[in-house]
Amino acid sequence: MSGSLSRLGTPGCSSMRSFPVLLSRTVIIVTWLGSTAPSAAQISPGELSSAHQSLEGITHCTSCHAIGRSIDENSCLGCHTELSTRLKAGKGLHATFSGKACITCHKEHHGRDFDLVRLERQTFDHSRTGYRLDGKHAQTQCQKCHTSSLIRAEDILANRPLLEGGTFLGLSTDCSSCHTDPHKGSLGPACASCHSETAWKPAPGFKHGRTRFPLTGRHVEVRCESCHRRSPEPGGRTAYAGLQFEDCNSCHRDVHAGRFPQRCASCHTTAGWFSAGQTFNHASTRFPLRGAHLRVRCQGCHGGTETPRARGAGTHVRLVQFEHCSDCHQDPHRGQFTKRADGGACEGCHTEASWEVRSIAGFDHATTRFPLRGRHATVKCAQCHGTGPASAAAIDPRRFERCADCHRDAHAGQFAARSDGGACESCHDEKGFLPPNYFVNSHAHSRFPLQGAHLAVACTRCHKLGTVRGERVRVFRKAEPASCATCHKDVHRGVFAQWMTDGCATCHGTDGWTRVRFAHQRTRFRLVGKHSHISCAACHQSAETTEWHFARTPKECSSCHGTTAHPPQGAGI
């Protein structure tokens, strides 16, 4: 047999007509069969495949078949020596089919176009070959790897042109047999010690801590290519070995431009150039850092001006003046306090703890004409005194004679006609806008004193939002006099208008709606007997709805009691 039998794969064995070799030992019959072409076709079960077509013909039968027996396994392996070698070594796919004859999977005499190897590539278990596919290898198409250009075993392709491009044998399991080594051999041949089959990057097996330069602090966040650069020439390799790292200057520029000859590590750590873990002690200078100064980044004071250096431009850490706050800070008060005895020195009111008002040590607002009390004590300075341009905040003097100097009139001038001109302090104080100091007894002096059930009504039930002088505010003063109809709708729909000499108060009072003073005797249906004990709802409320009806209420007995001897249920009698 020839090349196709040497390919590895899951055999797709198909049914075949049995081919019992019934050859007679009579030489005359064999000779006669060999000399007659049509008779040879009667002996052969069909054409051989294209791989074995050189063995076609009755005279070549014994190349594969033994007289009186089926296929001789030694004949197959004698020709396919590359498989014989692997079977003896117990390697490869065919070694897993121990005891099976070749013909079990590889059928012949089915014609020139018949494929001797039936391989289901989508379901093929590659681990049976001795090389399991994982990660990206499991996603790679078979022909990407099984190609003659990657076959390294010379005995596979030697003198076998039919196998070239069609065999699954001869590949090496070494990474370098398929992949180009980007390290050019500088890190050895064991790719799997750093990389996995999932992806080339990242390299999960590589541990920088095992090198002579363990990564700590901010170095852990640096991208590999920032240090390990690729050579600029075409095909240049990435440098992983031989990098200089004994000194920080091997990778980093000296931002101090040589002003500090000591090693970088004497002041800085890998935690960060400006991190809290830096070892430089500012207290050893003439300006110890305290309070908010501790939170200022170094370059916030020392800047970053560029100065020429032997190796290019370097960042120069400048020295600064610090005798006065104004050496670094602008005066946000724009000289308003220069007439003070201390000349308006910042430290007269502020400390290094914070500029905010809560950290002001020397300034006492109680010494001004406007002591801070109540809610005013919690207001930030800038809310009253404002801020100027971003370059210099301006603490502006403020007027404070009236609340309206700072606060908008929330009532849109509704109380301006009062004798006090609508002064806010008549109802409110510094404790807060709500609740007001306007109580129930204060309402007694208004045009609508509160009595009875009105005393329990929330202010907002009556004083709803409305529009006053174009502003959306709560309405407290109304043009028309207050009446029941101002807030309440007439549930009687005008039925009692002719009797309401005092309006709603004719029958109802502020002590409660259900306590009615209505005299039924004044109507055309006087209540006598048991009728005087019946609830109003029994006659005047509809059974289908909750509405009340008073006019045209039936007065005939049958309208409520019916014509039977017994009154209907619910009649109340």
Model confidence at 349, in pLDDT bands (50, 70, 90)?
Answer: confident
pTM, two decimals, is 0.40
**pLDDT > 50? residue 432:** yes
pLDDT value of residue 474: 92
State the burial class of residue 171 (Cβ atoms within 10 Å of its Cβ: 0-12, 13-18, 19+).
Answer: buried
| 351-355, 395-399, 467-471, 488-492: least confident range | 395-399
pLDDT value of residue 32: 38
Cβ density class 422-455: b for 16+ within 10 Å, e for less? bebebbbeeeeeeeeeeeeeebeeeeeebeeebe
pLDDT digits (tens, 9 = 90+) for 473-486: 999 887 677 788 88
Cβ density class 530-552: b for 16+ within 10 Å, e for less? eeeeeeeeebeeeeeeeeeeeee
pLDDT digits (tens, 9 = 90+) for 512-533: 887 888 888 878 888 898 998 8
- List of residues 6+ apart from 102 with CB closer than 8 A: 1, 5, 71, 73, 76
Average pLDDT over residues 323-331: 88
pLDDT value of residue 2: 36
Unique residue bearing structure tokens 């994982």: 134
pLDDT digits (tens, 9 = 90+) for 185-210: 878 888 988 899 988 888 888 889 88
Q: How far apart are the first and last CA of the chain?
A: 119
pLDDT value of residue 136: 92
7: number of Cβ within 10 Å: 19
Reduced to 3 states, what is the DSSP secondary structure of residue 533? helix
State the burial class of residue 241 (Cβ atoms within 10 Å of its Cβ: 0-12, 13-18, 19+).
Answer: exposed
Average pLDDT over residues 172-194: 86
pLDDT digits (tens, 9 = 90+) for 8-37: 333 333 333 333 333 333 333 334 344 444
> Tokens in use for 520?
């039924």
**Phi, psi angles (nearest 5°) of residue 512:** 155, 145
Model confidence at 47, in pLDDT bands (50, 70, 90)?
Answer: very high
